[in-house]
Homo-oligomer: A and B are copies of this chain.
Amino acid sequence: MSSSDGPGPELSRNLVYLLKHAHLRMAELTTEAVTPHGVDGRELGVLLALAGREPASQQQAAQRLGIDRTTMVAMLDALEGKGLVSRHPHAEDRRRNVVELTDAGRDTLRLATDATDKAEREYLAALTPKAAEQLRTSLQKLVLPPDD
């Protein structure tokens, strides 16, 4: 049966197939890496979206991550429950919540980021360092909004 095992040449060239499985695998490795630090991969995404920027409203944080604002609510509920983020009413516009990392959130972010960096390096070890950096750069060009 081994000759029928792999995806075959047609699938192997398909970008959706390749991106789907690369994402799936990297997400698995990330989950393994960050679970010991008390968050999952999606929660780490929220922490990253809040890191090193001006404090954001929930809606802004959702936009940075590319998810819906209704999805952000439950993620922040969980992170706030763990004491990793804080919500405060905005001083001038009381419809908004200002969302910020707590000290514990910054600690978790640092530890979890170190762990995912390690997981990324291991996953990318199949590539030359130059090809790995080129991969990241190319993905950024595809994903990031063109800065006009």
Seen from chain A, the residues whose Cβ lies within 8 Å of a Cβ on chain B are 1, 3-27, 30, 41, 45, 48-49, 51-54, 56, 60, 63-66, 113, 116, 120, 123-124, 126-127, 131-132, 134-145, 147
Is A49 a contact partner of B19 (Cβ separation < 8 A)? Answer: no
What are the 7 A-B residue pairs with the smallest beta carbon separation, nearest first? A19-B23, A18-B139, A10-B48, A21-B143, A135-B138, A11-B48, A10-B51
Known: A8-B49, A19-B23. A142 touches B127 (CB 8 A): yes
Known: A18-B140, A19-B139. A66 touches B7 (CB 8 A): yes
* Beyond A15-B120, A16-B45, A17-B143, 11 extra complex contacts between A and B, CB < 8 Å: A3-B54, A4-B54, A6-B144, A8-B48, A10-B48, A11-B64, A12-B144, A22-B23, A22-B139, A22-B142, A22-B143
Chain B residues lying within 8 Å of A138, measured Cβ to Cβ, are 127, 131-132, 134-135
Interchain nearest-CB distance for A88 vs B (Å): 17
Interchain nearest-CB distance for A117 vs B (Å): 9
Is B14 a contact partner of A45 (Cβ separation < 8 A)? Answer: yes
Among B17, B135, B144, the residue within 8 A (CB) of A135 is B135
Is B12 a contact partner of A140 (Cβ separation < 8 A)? Answer: yes
- Rounded to whole angstroms, the CA-CA distance of A20 and B45 in the bound complex is 11
